[in-house]
Chain A
Amino acid sequence: MIPTDHIVILSTILFTIGAAGMLFRRNAIVMLMSVEVMLNAANLALIGYARAFDSLEGQLFVIFIMTVAAAEVAIGLALFVTIYRTKRTINTDSVDLLRW
C-alpha cells in the first residue's frame, strides 16, 4: 500500500520543478511545457486523494484538467506561431511590447 503522503510529495516535487522551469526559462514553448508538468502534478495529487478517500470525483476533475490543458496548448501554440511570425523569435525577453 503506497502512502498518500508519498504521492503528494511526488506531486509537490513535480510541481516545484515545473514552477522553476516557468520562472527561469525564457523560451516560451519550454515555459508552456513547464505548465504541463505543473498540471500533471495537480492531476497526480487529485488521483492520490481520490484513492485515499475512495471517491471518483477526483478522477473526474482530472478529466476536466486534461481538457483544459488541451485547449490551453492549442491556443498557446497558436499564439506562439503568431508571435514568431511578427517578431521572428519566441524568447520572452524580446517580446516586450506590453512592458511598463
Chain B
Amino acid sequence: MSLSPDKLLHAYRRMRTIREFEDRLHTEIATGQIAGFTHLYAGQEAIAVGVCEHLSDEDSIISTHRGHGHCIAKGCDVMGMMKELWGSAEGTCKGKGGSMHIAEVGRGMLGANAIVGGGPPIAVGAALAAKLRGNGTVAVSFSGDGATNQGTTFEAMNMAVVLKVPKIFVLENNGYAENTGANYGCGCEDIAARAEAFGFPVFRADGADFFDVHDAAAKAIAHARDGNGPAGVYAVMQRYYGHYEGDPQAYRAKDEPRSLRETKDCLGNFRASVTSEGTLTDPQLDAVDREVLELIEKAVQAAKAAARPRPEDLSNDVYISY
C-alpha cells in the first residue's frame, strides 16, 4: 500500500514520539521523580503505529501494562499522559491511574490494562457494541506473548468468532514475558497458529518494519470491518528496555538490548525506506525529530509543574458507601 507523504510523516511522528517519550522516561525514572511501576515500549513502535494508523477516534483499542506506545499511537494527549505519569491532577486520569491505566475514552483508548490477559475480553465487548449498533467501527486488543498463555485471551478469541464481532487481536511477541523467554513460556512456538486455530485469519508481520505491520493490519482490519468477524496480526519485535524500569535484565545477554537498537530499529528502517524511495527527505524527518524532542521536553517540564491531586480527590470518581 502506498501512503501519501502526509500520512508517512504522521506515522513517523507517532513512532518518533513514542521512542522519545520512552527514552526520556527511562532517564527521568532514574532520577526518582516518577513513582510506581513503569514498562517501556521502545523498540516496538512500528506495531502500535502500524495498526493504529488505520483507526479513527470512533474505533477502540485496549492495551497492556506496557501501554504508552499504544496510547500515543491512538492519538492520546502526550501532555496529559506525561502529567499522569507524574501523578498530577491534570493527568489523563487525574493521577488516579498512572502508567498502567492511562485511558482516553473519548479517543477510543479504553485503557492500558495491568492484568495480563485482562484486555481481550473487554475489546470483544467494544466490538460487540460496534456490531449491535452497526456503526462500522472495530475494536483492537494488544496482547504480548505472555497474554497468549492466559485463558481469558483464548476465551475472547472463541467468543469473538462465535459472536462474529469486528475485533482485531494484535499479538506482539516481544521475546519475554516478564523475566522468562517466550520460547520457554509459549509451549507451541507458533503463537499465530494458536490464534488461527480459533477460526480467524492472522496476518504475520515483521515488528521492526512499519510497512509490513501496516499492510498486515490493513488486511486484518478490512476483514473485521467487512463483517467477517475477528482477525489477527502477529508481529515479533523485542523490547529495548527491561520488563519494568529498574529491571536488571540478567535474563538477557548483556549486549542484546544494544545490539537490538543497532540491528532492529523501526525508525531507522522507516527512514531508509522513505528516503531511498524519495517520498520523504532527511531534512523533513529531522524536522519531525526536533519537534518531537521539543514536545517531550515541554511535556516533562509541564508535568513537573502541574497541579498535584488533593487528598479529598480520593473520594470522587467512585461511588462511596462507607
Q: Do A and B bind each other?
A: no
B residues at A contact (CB < 8 Å): none
